[in-house]
Amino acid sequence: MQPLDLGNLAERRQNSIFSGILDESHLQACFTCGTCSGGCPLTGMESSKDEGYDARKVMRMAAFGLDQEVIDSRFVWFCTGCQRCEIGCPMGVKLVKVWMAAKAARPRDKVPGILHKGVEMVLKTSNNMGIPEDDYVTLLEELGEELAEEGCPGFVTPVEKVGADYIHFQNSKEAYAEPDDMKWWWKIFHAAKVNWTTSAKNWESVDWGIFTANMEASKEIARRKVENMKRLKARTFILPDCGGASYGTRLNLEKYFKHEFGPETGHDYVYFFDVLIKWLEEGRLKIDKSVHEGRIVTWHDSCKHMRSAYLTFGDASNLEKPRKILSYLMDMNNFREMPHNRLESYCCGAGSGNWPGPFEAEKTEHGGFKARDIQATGADLVIAGCSNCRDQIMKNLKPKYKLDIEVKYIWEMLADSLILDEE
């Protein structure tokens, strides 16, 4: 990199892609203390040493108007947006907003890997996998029939049901490759005897737009969910279980669609943690704690459900909700906290689209921080509340770091623990 000519710095800043977010990101408040890089797992990684960037360096590049260098960097893409840098920043700088601005400025044909194709597919077909509506509905109906035979007599998948209390959105990777995984939520709905529905149209739960900083696409994906809720007259919108999707959806709901919710509209939106706690507290879900007896369990605090909710919405409630759910499912004497937990938790390494993204070495090395935290607990059962986190830990970190663990979703653990009434 050539030495900078600071003579035209004011002009470069004025014309910078980052000029529009100066106030929002507090970019000019940065005084290069390095706390961001000190808390960032990407600092000094072997897999990214060739580029030589870290959070502090990229922030200075943005501040000095080196737009193209930041736009062209790999750093802003394999950063998972975990926001550990922001938790530590003494000046409250919103670094991830800077990365997002750089990602948004990348030409769409230069977006790494399949991420932009995923956005296009969701917008065109309603789901990332391009599954036709008829095939999708047939799959849901057949899975419902299987579940009825597997211990939930009378179960019928309530597709396009009008006037339900809850609307739930499915993850396309489950519909495409892991359809049985959808049954865990359905089993819980059945056991709780709740009135729920799911849509046949625009049903994809994941916010692919936010992965590529395509915020118009992110808004549209959220709008379609709102339209499904209104069209089917569902009362409570359960935010998607994928952490990025949950965060992206809430971001758009609170920014653009707040008027669709509240007592006057009869609609509400909640995290999935909330509905599980509600049904457990009401006794609608009967639990057999012996199912996981003797297991040493730890919980992975996913960034978007935990730290991002706190930093963006001022909402710290999700930090304790999963632990409360676990207390119904197991003897908490066998629960072990990771050394870095809650707001200090390490990312799994797969956030911001890095699970389906092309940066295999980077996401694996980043995930090493999480793998070592898991090892430190001595746990043999790791519980996650995000689909990408679960896949990264189970399918990548477990074999790469030789972790002797089982990985479950928290709703999977709950479904496995259910005592079902005979009907």
CA 67 to chain centre: 28
Alpha carbon distance 7, 396 (integer Å): 48
pLDDT, tens digit, 9 for 90 and up, residues 70-129? 999 999 999 999 999 999 999 999 999 999 999 999 999 999 999 999 999 999 999 999
Strands 166-167 and 236-238 come out as parallel
| Four-residue CA torsion sign, 220, 221, 225, 226 | negative
pLDDT category at 338 given cuts 50, 70, 90 is very high
Q: How many helices (H) and strands (E) does the chain have?
A: 22, 7
pLDDT category at 22 given cuts 50, 70, 90 is confident
DSSP 346: P
Alpha helices, H only, 257-346 = 272-281, 309-313, 321-329
DSSP 395: I
Residues 6+ apart with CB under 8 A from 64: 4, 6, 9, 12
CB 363 within 8 A of CB 349: yes
pLDDT for position 26: 86
- Say whether 297 sits in a helix, a strand or coil: strand
CB 32 within 8 A of CB 62: no
pLDDT for position 16: 77
Q: Which residue has the tokens 């005979």?
A: 422
Of 146 and 27, which is predicted with more confidence?
Answer: 146
Alpha carbon distance 109, 393 (integer Å): 30
Residue 237 has pLDDT above 80, yes or no: yes
The strand pairing partners of 270, in sequence order, are: 238
Question: Mean pLDDT over residues 47-57, rounded?
Answer: 95
How many residues can be counted in the chain?
A: 423
Of 27 and 206, which is predicted with more confidence?
Answer: 206
Mean pLDDT taken over the chain: 94
Residue 162 has pLDDT above 90, yes or no: yes
Question: Mean pLDDT over residues 408-416, rounded?
Answer: 98
Residue 6 has pLDDT above 70, yes or no: no
Residue 334 has pLDDT above 60, yes or no: yes
DSSP 319: G
pLDDT for position 13: 61
Question: Mean pLDDT over residues 29-44, rounded?
Answer: 93
Residue 1 has pLDDT above 90, yes or no: no
End-to-end CA distance of the chain: 71
The torsion angles phi and psi of 196, rounded to 5 degrees, stand at -135, 170
